[in-house]
Amino acid sequence: MENYQATNTCTYNILYVQFNEDFGRSKYFSYDVKYPILYNIRNQSTYVNPPILNNINSAVNMTVNNFKLGLQEEEQEYNNAASQNSLPKQSYWVSTNYAVTFSKNYVLSMILNLMGFASSSGPKYNTLNNYNIDLTNGKELLLGDIFRDGVDYINIITDYIKAEINENREMYYSNVELVIPEDQAFYITDDGIVIYFGVDEIAPESFGIPKFKIRFSDFGNFINQRFYCISPDIYVQSRGRTKHFMV
């Protein structure tokens, strides 16, 4: 593929991302959930309307709590039934993690991974939530917003993912009919868009969450420049120790 270089510069979002962790344990249920809270920083160039940040924070917090409480309720129901039927009880536990994957030009992209386990088996639930937000108005960004006007992004993405699947056909279901809807799950990174699918959607459960990266360097002529930009304030030392800092 042809390599495309970004020509416009980025403006970084100067926000404080507070790390939060909540953990606990009972006889048959435990949890360790990590999630962010976003804040403006006083006297900085970036300022986001506080209700927008509050809405993001509330949505993340509600998702984490609902997931934790849902699995806790499932544990109680299962073990109550196990007691009544003289069956072995099971331990359940919840783990969540997050990452801010893109924060430039008043755009925020963030992911929240929710995992629920029962007994000693692999994850019973493995869900990846995304938060792609236009910080100027609080609206959720859809996949089409990442591309230039008039670009047939559905076909571009579909063709690319089909080609990737065909290179490793044995890893995916043989009868997959790939459909990319307008509200397809994705998140943004500095170097591309990651398209992903649910567990057991296009590949066996053991595969986990299938992901495909649409690299800006390969598809840059189709990408809205708000998302594909140069980072002049970041210095990377290519040899020896690597340093990252912003002026």
- Position 83 in a domain: yes
What's residue 45's pLDDT? Answer: 83
- Read off the tokens for 22: 């909540």
What's residue 41's pLDDT? Answer: 95
Residue 40 is part of a domain; what is its CATH number? 3.30.565.40
pTM for this one? 0.90
Number of domains in the chain: 1
- Position 41 in a domain: yes
- Position 185 in a domain: yes
User: What is the spatial distance between Cα 222 and Cα 8, in angstroms, rounded to a whole number?
Assistant: 15
What's residue 234's pLDDT? Answer: 65
What's residue 245's pLDDT? Answer: 42
**CB distance 103 to 124 below 8 Å:** no
- Position 243 in a domain: no
- Residue-range definition of the domain harbouring residue 156: 15-222
What residues does 17 pair with on adjacent strands?
Answer: 38
- Position 52 in a domain: yes
What's residue 246's pLDDT? Answer: 44
Q: In what order do the strands lie in the sheet with 92-104?
A: 15-25, 29-40, 92-104, 107-118, 123-134
CB contact set of 138 (below 8 Å; sequence gap of 6+)? 49, 51, 52, 55
Q: What is the tens place of the pLDDT at every residue in 148-177?
A: 999 999 999 999 999 999 999 999 999 888
What's residue 5's pLDDT? Answer: 65
What's residue 159's pLDDT? Answer: 96
Nearest alpha-carbon partner for 227 in 151, 127, 161? 151
**CB distance 143 to 153 below 8 Å:** yes
Q: What is the tens place of the pLDDT at every residue in 87-127?
A: 999 999 999 999 999 999 999 999 999 999 998 677 899 99
Q: Residues in the chain with pLDDT < 70?
A: 1-7, 120, 232-247
What's residue 43's pLDDT? Answer: 87
- Position 237 in a domain: no
How long a stretch of residues is the chain? 247
What's residue 232's pLDDT? Answer: 66
